[in-house]
Amino acid sequence: MVYRGPDDEGVHLDTPAGIGMRRLKVIDLEGGHQPMTNEDGSLWIVFNGEIYNYRQLRQELEQQGHTFTTASDTEVLLHLFEDEDVDSFRRLQGMFAIALWDTRNKRLVLARDRLGKKPLFYALSDDALTFGSELNVVLEDETIPTQVDEGAVDMYLSFLFVPQPHTALRSVRKLPAGGYAVYQDGQMKVASYWSVPEIRPQDRALPIAQLEEEVDALLAEAVRDRLIADVPLGAFLSGGLDSSLITAYMCREAGKVRTFAIGFEEGSFNELGFARQVAEALGTCHEEHIVNYDVRDLMPELLDHFGEPFADSSAVPLFHLSRMTRRSVTVALSGDGGDEVFGGYRRYTAWLWAQKYQRWTPALARRAIDSLATGLREPSVYYGHSLRKRLRRFLEFSAALEQDPSSSWAFFLLEGEKQALYTEEFAATLDGGRHPRAPAPAATDLMQIDQGTYLPDDILVKVDR
């Protein structure tokens, strides 16, 4: 846990509870020590993250008579909870994992931010609750069973990550994004205070110019909020649309910005040229680094950070980039999340075309195309640039849609492929445990699903660790 919070630590013990914290200092470097308590010691808090609207909330609370002894967002959370209890979580804009110990009612309250940027794991037994920011931390309690969850293995082979609220172990769970939990008298209640809004078609199309103005204002506000810090900031810059746009807004708000990029010696993996062009255009103070050593050397450390199966290969360059960036700044902004909001993933288009292909192409023609694709020679290039692999994947996915309309282009292995791997004994443990089938979704539904699954369980996990 030291790597998550290298600057400070603290523990509060109060029978029958104990809470602890490793802190990365970002706001109020001297006054934000945790655990923190309110004036009468009735509430104690540990909090990982940052509340972007804490200044507005503090002003409201001061007008209602609350007094503050620090300049931290942590103290704002304490006073807000005093007034609004669990309803306070709806008021928060930011990234957070929170644990509050209510000494009067002997009640522990856990909460996680809307999109799940900050992790929170827990294990519940007959007489105890253990929680922490990582699976490995929870398992420091040696009384927690470590039996593998077969259903989680099945889901992992579909997604290449274990989706919330599951973990690789039966006994440990993730608090869902946008959720909170109350533990009292040996009972645990988990509820949701926020969920991804449903995307509904507009009654009338708005003018493009109006939409551009609204998106511009929202992005500017979002970046401005994230520049609140008492430590140096920077930006991850790949040269792609998302990170370039975020960097541009940072430059507009903060002037000279430090940007960081990483590349590989292999040309097909190296995008440093694009990042360099954007950095020159925006006038940033730019640093770049080439990864030129065996990534296998990183595996033990990466595996320890993730704590469970996780197979997003971009975690490797991101690890290098984060390590390089940390030498110069404490906080770095990135463009993660843009594809889920603006429909940037190619699989959304592929899914639409697969539906049309399955519906309109005669079976005889599909068999001929399938035979032709099988005969294509496999080039020795990066997976994403292989026409044969792309075509085979498209055809396999189109066929899978006929059996299960909820099949996703994002699945690593389709249902039939997984079944070919399983023994009868293993398959028998999965009855009722697989992800449920659902009607064929619309493209906007896929974006909404990704915001509730792929974003918190893959993208944000990778960036957090």
Q: What is the pLDDT of residue 84?
A: 97
Is pTM beyond 0.75 here? yes
Judge whether 377 lies within some domain: yes
Distance CA 278, CA 242 (A): 12
Answer whether 308's CB lies under 8 Å from 315's CB. Answer: no
Number of domains in the chain: 3
Residue 181 dihedral angles phi and psi, to the nearest 5°: -140, 145
- State mean pLDDT over 136-162: 93
Which of these ranges, 103-112, 346-355, 423-432, has the smallest mean pLDDT? 346-355
- State mean pLDDT over 11-15: 88
Nearest to 51 by CA among 14, 9, 97, 18: 97
Q: Residue 433 above 60 pLDDT?
A: no
Q: What is the pLDDT of residue 385?
A: 54
Ranked by mean pLDDT, which of 169-178, 298-307, 320-329 comes out on top? 169-178
Judge whether 239 lies within some domain: yes
Q: What is the pLDDT of residue 383?
A: 46
Name the domain boundary from 304, 335, 366: 335
Distance CA 133, CA 425 (A): 34
| Average pLDDT across the chain, whole number | 85
Name the domain boundary from 311, 335, 359: 335
Task: Note whether 42 and 188 are same-domain residues.
Answer: yes
- pLDDT tens by residue, 259-318: 999 887 766 566 788 999 999 999 999 999 887 767 778 888 888 889 999 998 888 888
Q: How confident is residue 345, by pLDDT bands cut at 50, 70 and 90?
A: confident
- Angle, alpha carbons 382-386-387 (nearest 5°): 165
Task: Note whether 112 and 179 are same-domain residues.
Answer: yes
Judge whether 302 lies within some domain: yes
Distance CA 414, CA 159 (A): 10
Q: What is the pLDDT of residue 382?
A: 47
- pLDDT tens by residue, 23-76: 776 777 787 888 999 999 999 999 999 999 999 999 999 999 999 999 999 999
Q: Residue 182 is part of a domain; what is its CATH number?
A: 3.60.20.10
Q: What is the pLDDT of residue 430?
A: 86
Q: Residue 230 is part of a domain; what is its CATH number?
A: 3.40.50.620
Q: What is the pLDDT of residue 328?
A: 92
Task: Note whether 369 and 325 are same-domain residues.
Answer: no
For the record, the structure tokens of 249 come out as: 């807004």
Judge whether 463 lies within some domain: no
- pLDDT tens by residue, 27-36: 777 878 889 9
- pLDDT tens by residue, 92-136: 999 999 999 999 999 999 999 999 999 999 999 888 999 999 999
